[in-house]
Chains A and B, each alone.
Chain A
Amino acid sequence: MVWNELLKVKRNPMGLSLLALGFFFPAAVFLADLLAGEQVEIASTVQPWLQAPVVVVALLGAYLLTLEAALGTGKWIFTAPVTPPQLAAAKAFTTALLALLAFLFAVGLAGELPSGRELGFGGLAVLSSLLTITWLSGLIRHFAGVLVVGVVWMQVAPWLLKLLPQTVQPWAWSVLPGLGLTHFEDAAHNAARVLTHLFYLLLAWVVWRRGGAR
């Protein structure tokens, strides 16, 4: 199953471009900052070693997870002894594998290893991003749709959250889908964070199954 997903990236201009974008994202940020001159600073909010796997998950993950819907190949795939959750799991696993390669590539490029604690939180962040992308792609089933909804949500939701009382904001951050799940360093809200996102995952699975194969 994983080999199948890797084969789908082979010679695929879109898939390979997204993969390359993920691998070279830290280098692109660095180059953009260099070219921008001293007046402007271009930087990412996350460390270079985390940028590469997160971009691979966000772009290639969403692409792979929505590929069958885009091409209409799901019809014959689901007439084989494979279920939609199995297929989604294979895609998520393949994305995780490529994200790991992207991390190693970024570490090799930057020449420095993150600390154990950073690595733990970073790994959890990538994993939770992958879960979010998986259920979002499963629901929307359209690559551009996933990107648009993801980007719009990431822009609109923080702005809306700021309208809430200060005491409620950290809780709202941690339980809103796709927003606070990656912030595991905020240990006080981790239980609510994990439980609500598990609920979202379950909800997405139920909705997905309703329209899926038997």
Chain B
Amino acid sequence: MSNALSVRGLTKSYRGRRVLDGLTFEVPEGAIALYLGPNGAGKTTTFRLLSGLEAPDAGEIHVFERPWDPRVRRFLGVTLEEPRFYPWLTGLENVEIAFRYRRVKNPARAALKALERVGLTYAARRRFRDYSLGMRQRLYLAAQLFPGVRLLLLDEPTNGLDVEGREEVWSTLQALTRQGVSLFVSTHQVLEAERFAEYLVVLHKGRVAYQGTYRDLAKRRRFVLRVDDVAEALAALRAAGFEAFLGRRPGELYVENTAGKVDRLLACLTEAGVQVLDQRFEDLEELYWRIKDGLERAA
């Protein structure tokens, strides 16, 4: 599969402070790739560089295998944080303006079609100032759904939205990938990544901490157990060849590399007479913090 986006050694500093430090990652074509990182990790800076609002100090950006130049904007849609439009104009007129900047043929008709793709046809002739935050986010998205768009770079598209609003945006994004649009979406909400990501790029202090499919990352999740006798459980698991160690809470154990081995693991504990009080896989948020802590310790 070819890459929709490919970034090599991207570096950017502001007044001597390095925000991005040799960033390297790829986004496969036709996927939803999530760009995950805490506030201040450098996500917005990456988007400013990818969209051409600023030039990097070093590094290369390739969009659909061609080096970045202003012409890639013809098939690159970008949203950057807050949706801001002309409040006195209708949603349709605002999208029409955005399409005119892109020299779209018949911009009014194309704008109406874009509103339809994000489910805003009913509010097309309502003024932007009367839109809710969720509607504004979707309008921002519609303004980037011009004919010919192939890659969308969305910076925090669900920021400030309630659960319902987030669901609306995510279902719209999933529908877009089915229509062949590649998506690179930043978020600091790890649980969104768990639900929607096919591919993940995890950013930490200007560097890529992890990149790969969500499935591969999920394999790295630890199995978390709460047992009545920790010492006995540890001994039994280690004897059976599992990489087990103490958890953070009393009675808690972590076991690494358990994919496909959970039944054997539980059987081993039963044989040792250990009662399992609770069992689950580590969620992505815990895994994310673990990757981040590991990097900080290594640094």
Check if B101 sits within 8 Å of A82, measured CB to CB. yes
Using CB atoms, name the residue of chain A closest to B73: A81
Interfacial chain A residues near B74, Cβ < 8 Å: 81
Q: Which residues of B contact A1 (CB under 8 A)?
A: 100-101
Residue of A76, A78, A79, A214 near B55 (CB, 8 A) is A214
Residues of B within 8 A of A12 (CB): 86, 88-89
CA A141 to CA B144, docked complex, whole Å:
25
Q: Chain A nearest CB: distance from B186 CB in Å?
A: 15
The answer, among B70, B84, B93, B100, for a CB contact under 8 Å with A73, is B84
Contact of B100 among A4, A13, A75, A79 (CB under 8 A): A4
Report the interface size class on chain A. 20 to 34
* Complex CA–CA separation, A169 to B89 (angstroms): 49
Picked from A4, A10, A73, the residue with its CB within 8 Å of the CB of B85 is: A73
Pairwise interchain contact B89-A76, C-beta atoms closer than 8 A? no
Given known A11-B89, A76-B78, A79-B52, contact A3–B100 (CB-CB < 8 A): yes
When the two chains form their complex, are residues B70 and A81 in contact, meaning their CB atoms are under 8 A apart? yes
Provide the bound-state CA to CA distance between A11 and B98, in Å: 18
A12–B85 alpha-carbon span in the complex (Å): 13
Per-residue 0/1 for A1-25: is the Cβ within 8 Å of any B Cβ (1 yes, 0 no)? 1011001101111000000000000
Q: Which residues of A contact B86 (CB under 8 A)?
A: 8, 12, 71, 73
With A81-B73, A214-B52, A214-B70: A76-B143 Cβ-Cβ less than 8 Å: yes
Query: CB-CB < 8 A to A203: which residues of B?
Result: none
* Binary contact readout A56-85 vs B (1 if CB under 8 angstroms, 0 otherwise): 000000000000000111011111111000
Most buried by B among A13, A80, A82: A80
Does A191 touch B at the CB level, under 8 Å? no
Number of interface residues of B (CB under 8 A): 32
Task: Tell me whether A79 and B51 are in contact in the complex, defined as CB-CB below 8 angstroms, given that A7-B89, A10-B89, A12-B86 are known contacts.
Answer: yes
On whether the beta carbons of A8 and B73 are closer than 8 Å, the reply is no
Interface string of B56-95 (1 = CB under 8 A from A): 0000000000000011011011111010111111000100
What are the residues of chain B within 8 A of A82 when measuring CB–CB? 101
Is the beta-carbon distance between B93 and A81 smaller than 8 angstroms?
A: no
Interface-centre pick from B52, B85, B101, B102 (highest chain A CB count, 10 A): B101
Assembled-state Cα–Cα distance A137/B76 (Å): 29
Query: Interface SS of chain A: helix, strand, loop or mixed?
Result: loop
Question: Which residues of chain B are near A13, meaning CB under 8 Å?
Answer: 88
Cβ of B102 to closest chain A Cβ, rounded Å: 5
Contact, CB under 8 Å: A79 / B89? no
Q: Min CB distance, A17 to chain B, in Å?
A: 12
Set of chain A residues within 8 Å of B77, measured between Cβ atoms: 79
Q: Contact: A80 with B84, CB < 8 Å?
A: no
A109 contacts partner chain B, Cβ-Cβ < 8 Å: no
State whether B73 touches A79 (Cβ < 8 A): yes
Q: Which residues of A contact B89 (CB under 8 A)?
A: 7-8, 10-12
Q: How far is the CB of B90 from chain A (nearest CB, A)?
A: 9
A78 to B55, CA, bound (A): 13
A188 lies within 8 A of chain B by Cβ: no
Which residues does chain A contribute within 8 Å of B80, judged by CB atoms?
A: 75-76, 79
A75 to B51 Cα, complex, angstroms? 10
Known: A76-B140, A81-B73. A4 touches B84 (CB 8 A): no
| Given A10-B89, A214-B52; A72-B98 close (CB under 8 Å) | no
Q: How far in angstroms is the closest Cβ of chain A from B66? A: 15
Shortest beta-carbon distance, A9 to chain B, in Å?
A: 10
- Least Cβ distance of A4 to chain B in Å? 5
Set of chain A residues within 8 Å of B18, measured between Cβ atoms: none
Closest to A82 in B: B101
* Residues of B with C-beta under 8 A to A3: 100
**Is the CB of B299 closer than 8 A to any CB of chain A?**
no
- A28 interface hit (Cβ, 8 Å): no
Assess whether A192 is interfacial by the CB under 8 Å rule. Answer: no
Q: Shortest beta-carbon distance, B72 to chain A, in Å? A: 9
12 A–B contacts from the bound complex (CB under 8 Å) = A4-B100, A10-B89, A71-B84, A72-B82, A73-B86, A75-B80, A77-B98, A79-B76, A80-B102, A213-B52, A214-B54, A214-B55
Chain A residues in contact with chain B, CB under 8 A?
Answer: 1, 3-4, 7-8, 10-13, 71-73, 75-82, 213-214
